[in-house]
Structure formats: structure tokens, C-alpha cells
């Protein structure tokens, strides 16, 4: 038997995973964008490609090799299990990657559609409030900004929905039919504490003894 984890271990798991992802993205950005003498569209495409590879490694590949567990789960000794029926590890990983890898994949696709070789020069010059002359840049970057805000909102809603759940299940857990649990099973002491003895009345039955007499008597 496995015990579902509460909101604070979930928060710590998310901080570890997201912090690692964000740190690697920043390093990737500095190597491919900031430290370049002259930035061109290829540097930007390389940045998007490597950021997508980082997301795939952290949220897809590593969980596939460690029974649907991210680095945060490995550190805190938690794991992902299906609620109802047994499903494959790949399905567990893909279900749980909806707010991580697939969200980042969507942002990368919008970037690729929005930022093109003909408007990259304008994009490379930062404008506050997305006041670009190119209308596609304004629309695309506003869309990305809105999606990031929505992602943050959904992440907090998913996290705090655990507080209102008796079984410590988040909204995403219910939608994907998965649950985040401790690897350590219930201890025998905890099992015994959860056992409830219910008294019941038993009707006594009359017992009749039959004595077999011998033939000599």
C-alpha cells in the first residue's frame, strides 16, 4: 500500500524540477545568445532546439528510465502510480508531462512561427510591452506571455487543489487518473493504528453431546 503525498512535498518536487529546468535554460541562453558577439537567427533556433532537448530529457527520458520518476521525485523518494488500472510507464510519463514538456513544446512552436528571418533583427531589439512594428511579433509574443501566465495559474490551481482533497489528489491527478505517492510503504505500526475493531453480537448455539454406549452395558 502506498500513501499519497501532501501539498508541501509536491511543492518541493516542483521547485526541484522547475529550478533545474530553468537553470539549464539560463545556461543555454547565455552560451548561445548573450555570449555571442553577433547574434543571428541560427543562434535563436539553436537555443530553442537545445531548450526542447533539455525539457525532453528532464520530463520524458529520465522518467522513462526511472519508472515515471523525475529528478525531484528521485530526490524525495516519491513515484507516480495509476489510480485505477495498470498502465504502461510511457503512458504515465506522457500524461504527467502535459504541464511541463508539452507546454514548453507549444511555446517553442509559437516562437518558430512568430520569429522568422525577415523579422529577427527587430525581435533582437527588445521593446517593452511588445511594441514591434511587425504585427506577427506583437501577436505571437503576447500569446506566449498569456500562455505563460495561464501555465503559472494552472500550476498553482493544481497544487492547491491538493489541500481540498481528502485523498491528497490534485486536479491533474484526477484528470490523468494518476497519483503521486511515497515509495516507502505503510509501516506495520501505522497499519495497526488504522485497523478498527467493530464488535458484533454472536448468537450462542446449543451443543448436544451424544454418548455412544458400548454393547456390554
Confidence at residue 106, expressed as pLDDT on a 0 to 100 scale: 94
d(CA 81, CA 67): 9
- Residue-by-residue DSSP string for 71-119: HHHHHHTEEEEESSS---HHHHHHHHGGGTHHHHHHHHHHHHHH--TTT
Question: 133-180: per-residue pLDDT in tens?
Answer: 777 888 888 898 899 999 889 888 888 888 888 888 888 888 888 888
Question: 51-60: per-residue pLDDT in tens?
Answer: 999 999 999 9
Confidence at residue 197, expressed as pLDDT on a 0 to 100 scale: 66
- Binning the chain into helix, strand and coil, the percentages to the nearest 5 are 60, 5, 35
The better pLDDT of the pair 52, 33 is held by 52
**Interior angle at CA 51, CA 50 and CA 57, nearest 5:** 85
Q: pTM of the predicted model, to two decimals? A: 0.76
pLDDT level of residue 213 (50, 70, 90 thresholds): low
pLDDT at 188 over 60: no
Amino acid at each position: 500500500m502506498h500513501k499519497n503525498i501532501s501539498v508541501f512535498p509536491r511543492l518541493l518536487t516542483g521547485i526541484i524540477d522547475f529550478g533545474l529546468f530553468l537553470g539549464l535554460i539560463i545556461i543555454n541562453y547565455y552560451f548561445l545568445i548573450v555570449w555571442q558577439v553577433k547574434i543571428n537567427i541560427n543562434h535563436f533556433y539553436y537555443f530553442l532546439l537545445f531548450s526542447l532537448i533539455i525539457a525532453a530529457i528532464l520530463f520524458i527520458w529520465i522518467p522513462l528510465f526511472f519508472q515515471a520518476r523525475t529528478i525531484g521525485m528521485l530526490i524525495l523518494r516519491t513515484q507516480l502510480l495509476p489510480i485505477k488500472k495498470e498502465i504502461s510507464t510511457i503512458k504515465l510519463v506522457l500524461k504527467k508531462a502535459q504541464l511541463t514538456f508539452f507546454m514548453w513544446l507549444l511555446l517553442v512552436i509559437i516562437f518558430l512561427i512568430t520569429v522568422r528571418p525577415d523579422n529577427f533583427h527587430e525581435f533582437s531589439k527588445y521593446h517593452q510591452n511588445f511594441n514591434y512594428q511587425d504585427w506577427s511579433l506583437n501577436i505571437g509574443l503576447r500569446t506566449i506571455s498569456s500562455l505563460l501566465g495561464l501555465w503559472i495559474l494552472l500550476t498553482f490551481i493544481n497544487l492547491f487543489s491538493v489541500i481540498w482533497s481528502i485523498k491528497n489528489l490534485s486536479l491533474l491527478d484526477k484528470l490523468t487518473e494518476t497519483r503521486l505517492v511515497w515509495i516507502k510503504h505503510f509501516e506495520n505500526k501505522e497499519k495497526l493504528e488504522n485497523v478498527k475493531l467493530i464488535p458484533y453480537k454472536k448468537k450462542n448455539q446449543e451443543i448436544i453431546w451424544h454418548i455412544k454406549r458400548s454393547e456390554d452395558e
